[in-house]
A and B are shown apart, each in its own frame.
Chain A
């Protein structure tokens, strides 16, 4: 067993950025002493495979099958384990997206090994890796291994590892004759209206809390998010109050995020919220209460009324 196999996720034939980050990270570690290979799964997606060479993959296994057009945990597990049987890697990387986080444990169990989820740092350790991952939603970190088991199945948190082109080309090999037995069938992928950016993949997030006073004022939060090209997040209090859908919730019972910029507006900073966003690179807080706990972890902040602060902020950003 040697090398790193990376599961590469695509939607409508377009490779997800988080997967390129995973391929790049595999390449940066020199394939753990072996080759970096990739496995691409879908329907009508073969054209995207060769391009992965530029990101560091020496070989790409392609499972191109009409039954794999939409995600299927069972079908994709079949494809990834078939690629693993050919590549015999010592590690299998996944981007820690909804798909990667769903698929990695099923693949690991099929291979009879454990898995390490939501990794934010990897260190080479012999023929394997020691991984750093947040626990208690980032209130602590654990340095973990797979206790000697191979392959190491690892999912990498999106937006933490850099995607960088390294040049090169990839050989493409089709995975034929997969024994697909798909019981849970995805009938439809319903995309959010207006191609709304999800907090889990956004590089900039602007969140609103109780301080925005009412659901209608998420328009103000959205105006700042739009000016910054970011996504709209929310605290648990306003999600529980029904002001915005749970998919926007950041925190211990919502999404744990690490964007490069996080702007908290009218959020006091309950421990559960801080746990979900404290690993953001730059944190900005806008709050009327100078004693709000959010200011303790903010890199920048304004003590003031968000209704008076956000409009001139939007204007100043647009003027840049």
Chain B
């Protein structure tokens, strides 16, 4: 069971997002970078599968040199090897280009399963997995919250509005992993030491036949922060909660017209 896990290095979810003065991107000063939280579920699923069935976990990222700690984190948790396609500064949010790069990096590496997170926390496009599946000619199951992998096939549960879909699918296949699928492990000290010796295959994106920025599918004109909100109406309800409740309902009905 060989698994390939696609990961992204993203700003910590606790980050306060500020923009560069010219609005062309976020101000990265002081931002802590982490493995995108959903990718952790993908990695954990792959680690559990290879522990049970043998085979290797390869983590792949497409990102700048600064993404390497995210790969080392995955290696420290137990991934066997890593592929780092260097680049990505010009393709942030361009899901199709990212999928093309990943497809080119993955296609000749053995894979029974390709696993991604449901989305990269950041650009929040939630598209790379499906596009990658299409480019690799694989079936996919997205938003997976439960998984059983058998001999040559898998059974997965995926989350949809107001319910769940039970899906069966032959291997090889691609999955996008959602919170609830498992409890991701942390890296232990031993793993962190071992990760330093594990191989990271570094590739320039141009070596995959892709000229970054030459054939874009997504272009950002500008970034903006959300409009500032004016102060709300706050009722002190410690002494008269029932009165405050009645007043709030009245405001919601008559002023906000929300109920």
Which one of B58-66, B90-98, B191-199, B204-212 is at the A interface? B90-98
Assembly CA distance A114 to B97 (angstroms): 8
Distance between A211 CB and nearest chain B CB, rounded to angstroms: 14
**A residues less than 8 Å from B166 (CB atoms):** 186-190
CB of A163 within 8 Å of the partner chain: no
Interface string of B2-39 (1 = CB under 8 A from A): 00000000010111110100000010000000000110
Contact assessment for A106 and B161 in the assembled complex, using a CB-CB cutoff below 8 Å:
no
With A249-B179, A320-B249 in contact, do A312 and B259 touch (Cβ < 8 Å)?
no
- Of the candidates A97, A142, A246, A299, which one forms a contact with B220 in the assembled complex, judged by CB atoms under 8 Å apart? A142
Contact assessment for B217 and A149 in the assembled complex, using a CB-CB cutoff below 8 Å:
yes
- Of the candidates A108, A278, A281, which one forms a contact with B131 in the assembled complex, judged by CB atoms under 8 Å apart? A108
Interface string of B113-134 (1 = CB under 8 A from A): 0000000011111111111011
- Of the candidates A73, A116, A136, A320, which one forms a contact with B253 in the assembled complex, judged by CB atoms under 8 Å apart? A320
CB of B89 within 8 Å of the partner chain: no
**B residues less than 8 Å from A290 (CB atoms):** 234
- Of the candidates B13, B173, B235, which one forms a contact with A272 in the assembled complex, judged by CB atoms under 8 Å apart? B13
CB of B248 within 8 Å of the partner chain: yes
Distance between A152 CB and nearest chain B CB, rounded to angstroms: 10
CB of B203 within 8 Å of the partner chain: no
Which one of A55-63, A166-174, A194-202 is at the B interface? A194-202
Q: Is the interface of B mostly helix, strand, loop or mixed?
A: mixed
Contact assessment for B259 and A317 in the assembled complex, using a CB-CB cutoff below 8 Å:
yes
Contact assessment for A301 and B235 in the assembled complex, using a CB-CB cutoff below 8 Å:
yes
Assembly CA distance A70 to B161 (angstroms): 14
* CB proximity to B under 8 Å, residues A67-89: 70-71, 73-74, 77
**A residues less than 8 Å from B158 (CB atoms):** 98
CB of B189 within 8 Å of the partner chain: no
Contact assessment for B233 and A106 in the assembled complex, using a CB-CB cutoff below 8 Å:
no
CB of A175 within 8 Å of the partner chain: no
Chain A residue, CB-CB nearest to B14: A271
Contact assessment for A144 and B11 in the assembled complex, using a CB-CB cutoff below 8 Å:
no
**B residues less than 8 Å from A246 (CB atoms):** 145, 178-180
- Of the candidates A101, A110, A279, A304, which one forms a contact with B238 in the assembled complex, judged by CB atoms under 8 Å apart? A304
With A144-B220, A146-B217, A188-B166 in contact, do A117 and B258 touch (Cβ < 8 Å)?
no
**A residues less than 8 Å from B242 (CB atoms):** 308, 312
* CB proximity to B under 8 Å, residues A271-320: 271-272, 275, 278-279, 281-284, 290, 295-305, 308-313, 316-317, 320
Distance between A233 CB and nearest chain B CB, rounded to angstroms: 14
Contact assessment for B163 and A147 in the assembled complex, using a CB-CB cutoff below 8 Å:
no
**A residues less than 8 Å from B141 (CB atoms):** 184
Assembly CA distance A19 to B130 (angstroms): 21
Q: Is the interface of A mostly helix, strand, loop or mixed?
A: mixed
* CB proximity to A under 8 Å, residues B141-156: 141-143, 145
Chain B residue, CB-CB nearest to A145: B219
Assembly CA distance A188 to B164 (angstroms): 8
CB of A219 within 8 Å of the partner chain: no
CB of A39 within 8 Å of the partner chain: no
**A residues less than 8 Å from B127 (CB atoms):** 104-105, 108, 115, 117
Assembly CA distance A143 to B232 (angstroms): 28
Assembly CA distance A8 to B100 (angstroms): 28
Assembly CA distance A67 to B162 (angstroms): 22
**B residues less than 8 Å from A102 (CB atoms):** 130, 142-143
CB of B188 within 8 Å of the partner chain: no
Q: Given contacts A97-B160, A105-B127, could you give 19 more A-B pairs where the C-beta distance is less than 8 Å?
A: A101-B126, A106-B131, A137-B121, A140-B26, A142-B222, A144-B218, A145-B218, A147-B216, A189-B166, A197-B162, A260-B258, A270-B14, A271-B15, A271-B16, A284-B248, A302-B248, A303-B235, A310-B245, A311-B245
A-B contact pairs, 18 of them (CB 8 A): A77-B134, A98-B161, A102-B142, A105-B131, A106-B140, A114-B94, A114-B217, A117-B95, A135-B123, A139-B16, A140-B17, A142-B93, A184-B173, A189-B163, A190-B166, A192-B164, A195-B162, A271-B13
